[in-house]
């Protein structure tokens, strides 16, 4: 009998942040807030979350910056 286990990252979009300027691509756009959850998987099914990271990213070039959990909650309350 084989037991297949591993790790997987799943992203979830939480909403728009605000209209910001990206220093990487030099465009102005509405950035988005994301939550990335790392999961322990069993038979390719996410079972146990073990790490969460919040970040905002530019939708044009996908450049991102991590934000603390408290800041992410504040952004979500604004929306």
pLDDT tens-digit series, residues 27-70: 999 999 999 999 999 988 999 999 999 999 999 999 999 999 99
Distance separating alpha carbons of residues 37 and 54, to the nearest angstrom: 9
pLDDT at 37: 96
Q: Say what the pLDDT of residue 36 is.
A: 96
Check residue 54 and give its pLDDT: 96
Residues 65-79, mean pLDDT to the nearest whole number: 87
Parallel, antiparallel, or unpaired for β 28-42 and 45-57? antiparallel
Residue 69 main-chain phi, psi, to 5 deg: -60, -40
With 70 as the cut, is the pLDDT of residue 79 above it? Answer: no
Is the separation of the CB atoms in 33 and 16 below 8 Å? yes
24: its two tokens: 């990487």
Domain boundaries, the chain: 5-78
Q: What is the dihedral of CA 61, 54, 72, 69, to 10 degrees?
A: -150
φ, ψ at 68 (rounded to 5°): -65, 160
């Amino acid at each position: 009998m084989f037991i297949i286990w591993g790790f997987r990252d799943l992203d979830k979009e939480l909403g728009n942040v605000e209209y910001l300027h990206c220093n990487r691509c030099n465009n102005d756009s509405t950035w988005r807030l994301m939550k990335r959850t790392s999961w322990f998987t069993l038979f390719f099914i996410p079972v146990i979350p073990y790490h969460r990271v919040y970040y905002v990213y530019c939708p044009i070039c996908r450049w991102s910056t991590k934000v603390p959990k408290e800041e992410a909650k504040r952004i979500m309350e604004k929306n």
